[in-house]
Structure 1
Amino acid sequence: MPDQELLSTEPATGAVLWRHPIGDADTEVAIARASWAAWAARPLAVRIEALRRFANVVRQKADAFTDLLARETGKPLWEARTEVETVIAKVDISVTSYSERTGQRRIEAPMNTRLALRHKPHGVLAVLGPYNFPAHLPNGHIVPALLAGNAVVFKPSEKTPASGAFLVDCFHAAGIPEGCIRLLIGGPDQGKALASHPDIDGLLFTGSANTGIALNRQFAARPEKILALEMGGNNPILVWNTPDLYSAAVLVVQSAFTTAGQRCTAARRLIVDEKLFEPLMAELNKLIGRLIIGEPHADPQPFMGPVIDNNTADMLTESFLTLSTMGGRPLRHMERPIENRPFLTPGVVDMTEAREKVDVELFGPILQVFRKTSFEEAIAEANDTRYGLSASLVSQDPRLYDQFWANIRAGIVNWNKPTNGASSAAPFGGVGWSGNHRPSAYYAADYCAYPVVSSESEQARAAMGVGLRDA
């Protein structure tokens, strides 16, 4: 029956790309539960070797994986190729991270005693993946989780299930036991069933703040389960005291509109010195007007493709109109160039004089602009959000960057660089509604295993010198 399978369609064309029966959380968790102990008992070197084989499998299938990611997400081929390369690179980064952050340690102790620090896996971890990076972001949880000795049940976004299935097939082709990396296909119901399953030992989540907050409430009564949340941002980019306005405009466009604005680190708010507003907007408008927006395989390659689906495009169009009704002044109207397809041109709106502001993550190519007359006001505006993931300053004044770094509230703080494009070789996470203080990427090892401290001696030698009556 149609309601028993999940279909994936190409955003750029509407063509059906993939279909698969909807899975069952109980079945997948039971298989993982029965398999994880044997995987955890294998030597670390064996798990490392298996994951390096996985990297080689992805490398061999890179062209097919790139094509699939591009078709299913709508992102250009160049960007899909970068995502596949990141999946491959994750293995070596995770091996280094595991050794550095969760490796074995010997600690000095008195009287012929050994004090040892080791780490154990949690057991069965659920991974819920997003649609914007359907391979890279879940892989950032899965690889360190498997390396630590956990089994994983992975539910990809219902909007990009084919990419998730391809990723899991690569793990299996590399010889990772099939019971240790399970694929759960489905929609919100399957996601809720997995997240609330009594036999998982934790949940690793990337997605919206609303879902993350609901999960946080759900797990509040289950302190025995690990919960790692990455929930996005309402990220600011500040332009202040810089003569090179073309470069500033490039950095703003890269921050706000790469991946059609569908990045958790995308700049949602441009905060600019009032004196630079007009010339910067002139450069920004010229640059936006030159952007190629098209389907993934177009030649020449587009800068950005469509958003994920028509419902999302409708919501973003309505959001842009809502900003205008709040008193925002449109500087560049958002347009829908292809009827019934989710392509959007970037929308820019000046919210400086708006009657009210919205502190939400508008997950698409919408940029709000705020003009300020002092740098202190600009920082205050940047911090006026419940989120705290990424922030960037474009300026040639090092003193301003020192002030910015010291006062901005974010987990990623950049200078003369975009708000996005974070390195997997560094921790990735934020504060406020952007996460629950469990940064991923290089620090993912921290939530994939727990520390065990052992005081050890080869012989039992003990005496009591206080608190005993004479014999």
Structure 2
Amino acid sequence: MADILTSYEPATGKVLWSGESASSTGVDAAMAKARKAFPAWASTSLDHRIERLRAFQAKVRERADAFAELIARETGKPLWDAKGEVDAVAAKVDISIQAHDQRTGTRTQEADGLRQALRHRPHGVLGVLGPYNFPAHLPNGQIVPALLAGNVVVFKPSELTPASAAFMAACWRDSGLPNGVLSVVQGDGRIGKALAGHADLDGLLFTGSATTGAALHRQFADAPHKVLALEMGGNNPLIWWDGDDLEAAAQVVVQSAFLSSGQRCTCARRLILPEHLARSAIEALVAVIDRLIVGDPFDQPQPFMGPVIDMRAANGLTHAFRDLVGRGGKSIRELAAQRPGLPFLSPALIDVTDVADPSDEERFGPLLQLVRVPDFDAALAAANATRFGLSAGLVGGDEALYQRFWTGVRAGVVNWNRPMTGASSNAPFGGVGASGNHRPAAYYAADACAYPVASLEALAPSPPIAHGLAA
């Protein structure tokens, strides 16, 4: 009997979607279908592949309202946030076409009858493992460039958001994508491991936790011929350095820490304050935190944030908060459950300056840890006191201080006076350390989806040996 996979609405606890989980046999079947589809898809013209991508884009826009409603129900994020995700799914097509041309397009030049050419070829069958926080946008950001380059894809979404993945797959199917070019295998981590370890897989594109990413890295240790792109999270620092406009700065901090209920990999996890600013900054910050509306995805007025993904996540965050308090952390705003049996949490702020050894973990939710420091050297040291290196931010300061921050901080995404949750789709996205393996996503996802082939070409052979031949 097949295992049944069920998705629940975080905001209500109701069943949203139920379907059959794949098995190892199902992964084998999807891989076989993908391998069979690859030669024809890879040999189609780029223009034809672009047509299919634009047809998908049109389907997403046509079904945008239903898509956003489903994402909001399945993730718990407010409807306005889910609508932004659907917009990003559609926009990714145009961005990927531009990136494909700039990063992996064809380049030729001729001189003295010799043509030098740079072209790119697809890897073959690529696996995509997607996360739950952006169940459409983040895997789509890897699926689109992979298909555009001529690869075929087997996609395993998060077991917490299977309905959103199924909806997106239907948009691809109804856009006229050939059978086998994109397959979806639903299931838990066992199915993801089976996909990642499949002998016929040519590469894997992953977005998720550092723990899973490290496990995948070990799994691929004996397969250097397979591409592996890891986009993982971070214990991200945000330095707030001066107080010219406390309210504006506090809003930047709050959005950085609590947008999407703190379930963005770029969210600020650690706020670093100079001692001279701490009191006034905390007052301004608390004033904004206390105004945040936490509610259902479809409430009116719309909430700033909804629940976290499930009770397991909520309980883990609550345990982490209590552990910090138990080790000397001073609660400024408590991480409190707001509805019995449902994963609604209040945004939390805790001063961990006196905690001797706060664990270097990504707390994936609305939990912001505050550290007070005496000077900017200490602020930079605190910012870099992590094995991660995804995002970092500076609020305040002048151009010289920002340049000092930019040069000194270790991260792949660095913002100044802007929320850390903001990242340009026209730029690479990824980090260093435990946050990635130097294969950034977003605009640079094209790099992981094709490999370069350099050629020297002439219409006819000419004698190349100029020295060392006997008469």
Instruction: Assess same fold via TM > 0.5.
Output: yes
Tell me what 2:97 maps to: 95
1:304-453 alignment runs, 5 A limit: 304-453=305-454
CA distance in 1, matches of 2:145, 2:135: 17
Aligned to 1:79: 81
- How far apart are the structure 2 equivalents of 1:400 and 1:54? 45
User: 1:454: how far off?
Assistant: 1.1
Matches of 2:469 and 2:253 in 1, distance apart? 74
| Counterpart contact for 2:149–2:450, Cα < 8 Å | yes
Q: Tell me the amino acid that sits aligned with residue 180 of structure 1.
A: V
CA contact (8 A) 1:241 1:397 kept: no
2:106 matched to which residue of 1? 104
Contact 2:243 2:281 (8 Å CA) reproduced: no
**Displacement of 1:205 after TM fit?**
0.1
The alignment partner of 1:306 has SS state of coil
Asked if 1:141 is matched to 2:142, the reply is yes
> In the alignment, what sits opposite 1:36?
38
Deviations 1:39-69 (A, max 9, x none): 1100000001110110000000000000000
CA separation in 1, counterparts of 2:179 and 2:78? 32
CA deviations over 1:72-123 (Å, ceiling 9, x no partner): 00000000000000000000000000011111001355x4111110000000
Q: Shift of the alpha carbon at 1:467? A: 2.4
1:278 aligns with 2:315: no
Are the aligned partners of 1:12 and 1:295 in contact in 2 as well (CA < 8 Å)?
yes
1:303-325 CA distance string (max 9 Å, x none): 00000001110111001011112
> What is the alpha-carbon distance in structure 1 between the residues aligned to residue 268 and residue 466 of structure 2?
66
- 1:167, 1:36 → 2: CA distance? 21
Give the CA deviation at 1:37: 1.1
- The separation in 2 between residues aligned to 1:107 and 1:181, in whole angstroms, is 35
Structure 2 distance, partners of 1:337, 1:268, is 21
Q: Secondary structure at the match of 1:343?
A: strand
For residues 463 and 153 of structure 1, do their structure 2 counterparts lie closer, same or farther at Cα, with a shift above 3 Å needed? closer
Mapped contact 1:117–1:454 kept (Cα < 8 A): yes
Shift of 1:463: 4.6
Paired residue secondary structure (1:278): helix
Q: Secondary structure at the match of 1:88?
A: helix
Map Cα deviations across residues 134-176 of structure 1 (whole Å, 9 max, x no partner).
0000000000000000000000000001001111111111111
1:22 aligns with 2:24: no
AA paired with 1:15? K
State the secondary structure of the residue aligned to 2:389: coil
Q: What's the TM-score, normalizing by structure 2?
A: 0.98
Shift of 1:397: 1.8
How far has the Cα of 1:395 moved from its partner? Answer: 0.6
Change (3 A) 1:112 1:371: same
Query: Residue 7 of structure 2 aligns with which residue?
Result: 8
Residue correspondence of structure 1 range 231-270 to structure 2 within 5 A: 231-270=232-271
Q: Which residue of 1 aligns with 2:65?
A: 63
- 3-state SS of 2:345 partner: coil
Matched, 1:123 2:133: no
Letter in 2 for 1:317: T
Greater shift, 283-292 or 83-92, is seen at 283-292
Instruction: Determine the C-alpha separation between the residues in 2 that align with 1:108 and 1:414.
Output: 42
Aligned residue type for 1:220? A
Question: What secondary structure does 2:343 align onto?
Answer: coil
Larger mean CA deviation between 147-156 and 3-12 belongs to 3-12
Counterpart CA distance in 1 for 2:243 and 2:138 is 34
Calculate the TM-score normalised by the size of structure 1. Answer: 0.98
Checking the alignment, whether the CA contact within 8 Å between 1:242 and 1:396 is kept in structure 2 is no
What amino acid maps onto 1:253 in structure 2?
A: V
In structure 2, do the counterparts of structure 1 residues 283 and 463 end up closer, same or farther at CA, with 3 Å as the change threshold? Answer: closer
Name the aligned partner's letter for residue 61 of structure 2.
R
* CA displacement 1:182-216 (0-9 Å, x = unmatched): 00011111111000001110000000001101111
Alpha-carbon contact 2:394-2:405 (below 8 Å) kept: yes
Q: Name structure 1 gaps, 5 residues minimum.
A: none
Letter in 1 for 2:284: E
Runs (4 or more) in structure 1 with deviation over 4 Å come to: none
Q: Distance in 2 between matches of 1:355 and 1:454?
A: 58
Q: SS in structure 2 opposite 1:295?
A: coil
Where in structure 2 are the equivalents of 1:130-169 lying within 5 Å?
Answer: 130-169=131-170
- Paired AA for residue 12 in structure 1: A
2:304 & 2:215 partners in 1: Cα distance?
35
Name the SS for the 2:142 alignment partner: helix
The 1:373–1:31 alpha-carbon spacing in structure 2 relative to 1, beyond 3 Å, is same
Contact 1:242 1:394 in 2 (8 A): no
Task: Decide which moves more: 447-456 or 322-331.
Answer: 322-331
Moved more, 321-330 or 257-266: 321-330
Measured in 2, the distance between the counterparts of 1:36 and 1:424 equals 28
Q: Distance in 2 between matches of 1:272 and 1:179?
A: 53
SS in 2 for 1:242: coil
> Alignment partner of 2:386: what SS?
coil
Q: CA–CA distance in 2 between the matches of 1:222 and 1:464?
A: 39
Task: Classify the secondary structure of the residue corresponding to 2:260.
Answer: helix
CA distance in 2, matches of 1:414, 1:284: 19
Q: Say whether 1:190 aligns with 2:179.
A: no
Using the TM superposition, give the Cα deviation of residue 464 of structure 1 relative to its aligned residue in structure 2, in angstroms: 2.7
Quote the offset at 1:29 in angstroms: 0.8
- Report if the CA contact (8 A) 1:246-1:283 is conserved: yes
Of stretches 53-62 and 235-244 in structure 1, the one that deviates more from structure 2 is 235-244
Q: Matched residues in 1 for 2:109 and 2:237: separation?
A: 44
What is the root-mean-square deviation of aligned Cα atoms in Å?
Answer: 1.0
Offset at residue 229 of structure 1 (A):
0.2
Q: How far 1:469 moved relative to its partner?
A: 3.1
Deviation at 1:328, TM superposition (A): 1.1
Give distance in 1, aligned partners of 2:110 and 2:304. 56
Q: Aligned AA for 1:9? A: Y
Letter in 2 for 1:5: I
